[in-house]
Amino acid sequence: MPEIIDPNDFLPRYHQLANILREQISNGKLEAHQPIPSERQLEMIYSVSRTTIRQAIDLLVRQGFLYREHGRGTYVSPQKLQKGISELTSFTEDMKQRGLVPGQKILEIGYIQPPEKVRQHLELPEGSGQVLRIERIRLGDGVPMGLQTSFYGLTGEQTITQEELEEVGSIYRILQEKFHLIPTEADETLEVTLATPREASLLQIEPGSPLLLSERTTYSQYRRVIEFVKILYRGDRYRYLAKLTR
Amino acid sequence: MPEIIDPNDFLPRYHQLANILREQISNGKLEAHQPIPSERQLEMIYSVSRTTIRQAIDLLVRQGFLYREHGRGTYVSPQKLQKGISELTSFTEDMKQRGLVPGQKILEIGYIQPPEKVRQHLELPEGSGQVLRIERIRLGDGVPMGLQTSFYGLTGEQTITQEELEEVGSIYRILQEKFHLIPTEADETLEVTLATPREASLLQIEPGSPLLLSERTTYSQYRRVIEFVKILYRGDRYRYLAKLTR
DNA sequence: CAGTGGTCTAGACCACCGG
DNA sequence: CGGTGGTCTAGACCACTGT
């Protein structure tokens, strides 16, 4: 069992400890509403300081695996609360989490003069130049799930070609590997609309069918806007999941 | 200026410091993408240890007010990212945040034998007894926003009367003050549906109009289910807001 | 009361960034 | 190189919970 903490590991100790505990929870070695060893006990078991123990527990509490009760102990959360939903994910990751095979049909990719609303969401100054626009049908297990339109305020040199996109599949991976931009935060709104004839034919539904419209602004590690994305989801195939905390 | 940390204050020092910094950000004394003083400088300015400084900064980073860059500094997040949306809120709080006056019309309140789906969401064993069901029309500035149906697996003694509900307005307050149950986490799903004739007449819309259906399971500080709530929002009046992180 | 988590200190070394 | 945030230690006292 690699259930000891290696000071020379490239992972920090609190991270190693969190992994060990998370593993025990997933294994079922620690059951729901059961207490884990106290912080002083963990200190001795793993030979790390209490600060490090607390860092590990903090992490697992934020991830929903544990909860604390002052004066009593730290306990395992029931399975239901442990799913990491409501995290910032790309469509690709979202589908995989749902157990579906992600896919896409690229309809159009190119530079356009952005509509006012898009320009504002990208936080570009008035009178800025063109932005990259990508329109795709998104598939889950080969079936149309939604119609996605994405906008990127990249400069002329920074660009993404249709070949790249078809090969890699995920724009997030391209942004990260090619431009070192890491999506870290996003604001999203959800509302209901009805399908226009064009949208309906692309999504293979009747015009006027209800759709779930998601509009998302994604920010980089530098808190600058990376992208503005609109997705029209088929109302009969897609359900949005969120996990809320106080 | 009370911009000093009082060791005798009932608030912990890291919390006091977070309040001071948050205030400076809201005031505009610290501007977006500007660095705050380094952790060693803050140590001297406020005469607290670096651990305490870091606790305060951690808090503000999680709340979206600050972001860190390793080897460079800690910076103020742009205003856009600072709104605390996507937190677990009651309908009442939600309306207030949107600047609307919350209201309600109670349609029905009483005990029923729960449908199977509701029983499962409340995590009650098969063959359990009745549950409390409350059906209300929810108003924003006096206008119907949604139709809410809530279920509570309270025991016979624990109950909520229509008079209480009309007087207090918020069930969360009743739960907290009367039963010491604090909502701390929730799982929510969102999807689209079309209004049935009954729903349409209650919400004052045409039958077949699109609605946003939210289903939420709320958990207490002990990670037990408190409630299961369905809200049918008018598609033309309600937009869901979420803030996502990685 | 003893045991739990919550806060706090004063110090240390590391990894990363810029000039 | 010096300054930044990231990790870590060994200790202390407080606030809360149970018996």
Same domain assignment for residues A88 and A50:
no
Same domain assignment for residues A62 and A178:
no
The structure tokens listed for A146 are 């939604």
Is A189 part of a structural domain of the chain? yes
Same domain assignment for residues B65 and B187:
no
Residue of B246 and A189 predicted with greater confidence: A189
- The CATH number assigned to the domain holding A177 equals 3.40.1410.10
Chosen domain end from A76, A108, A126: A76
For residues B188 and B211, give the distance between their C-alpha atoms in angstroms, rounded to a whole number.
16
Same domain assignment for residues B102 and B215:
yes
Is A57 part of a structural domain of the chain? yes
Is A5 part of a structural domain of the chain? no
pLDDT tens column, A131-171: 999 999 999 999 999 999 999 987 656 778 888 888 887 78
CA triplet A111, A116, A117: central angle to 5 degrees? 100
**Contact partners, residue A55, CB within 8 Å, separation at least 6:** A14
What are the backbone dihedrals phi and psi of residue A205, each rounded to the nearest 5 degrees, phi first? Answer: -135, 175
Same domain assignment for residues A125 and A41:
no
The Cα-based distances of A219 to A39, A109, B96, B181, B246 in angstroms read: 36, 22, 27, 36, 11
Is the pLDDT score of A67 beyond 70?
yes
Q: Do B242 and A191 touch (CB under 8 A)?
A: no
**Contact partners, residue B70, CB within 8 Å, separation at least 6:** none
Is the pLDDT score of A183 beyond 50?
yes
- The CATH number assigned to the domain holding B24 equals 1.10.10.10
Is the pLDDT score of A85 beyond 60?
no
Domain around A211: 81-241
- Angle, in degrees to the nearest 10, between helices B39-46 and B50-62: 110
Same domain assignment for residues A48 and A102:
no
The residue-averaged pLDDT of A179-202 equals 92
Same domain assignment for residues B196 and B150:
yes
The Cα-based distances of B186 to A61, B175, B224 in angstroms read: 15, 15, 11
Is A92 part of a structural domain of the chain? yes
Chosen domain end from A28, A58, A76: A76
Q: Which amino acid is at B119?
A: R
Is B5 part of a structural domain of the chain? no
For residues B30 and B14, give the distance between their C-alpha atoms in angstroms, rounded to a whole number.
19
Same domain assignment for residues A110 and A124:
yes
A13 in contact with nucleic chain D (CB within 7 A): yes
Q: How many CB pairs below 8 Å do chains A and B form together?
A: 143
Q: Specify the number of domains making up chain A.
A: 2
Same domain assignment for residues B157 and B173:
yes
For residues A63 and A77, give the distance between their C-alpha atoms in angstroms, rounded to a whole number.
10
Q: Do B246 and A184 touch (CB under 8 A)?
A: yes
Same domain assignment for residues B42 and B108:
no
Same domain assignment for residues A102 and A37:
no
Is B6 part of a structural domain of the chain? no
Same domain assignment for residues A180 and A140:
yes
Which bases in strand D are touched by protein, i.e. have an atom under 7 Å from a CB?
A: 3-12, 15-18
Is B174 part of a structural domain of the chain? yes
The residue-averaged pLDDT of A94-108 equals 91
Chosen domain end from A61, A76, A91: A76
Helix (H, G, I), strand (E, B) or coil at A211: strand
Return residues 20-59 of A near B (CB < 8 Å). 32-33, 51
Is the pLDDT score of B85 beyond 60?
no
Is the pLDDT score of B90 beyond 90?
no
Residue of A207 and A128 predicted with greater confidence: A207
Is A93 part of a structural domain of the chain? yes
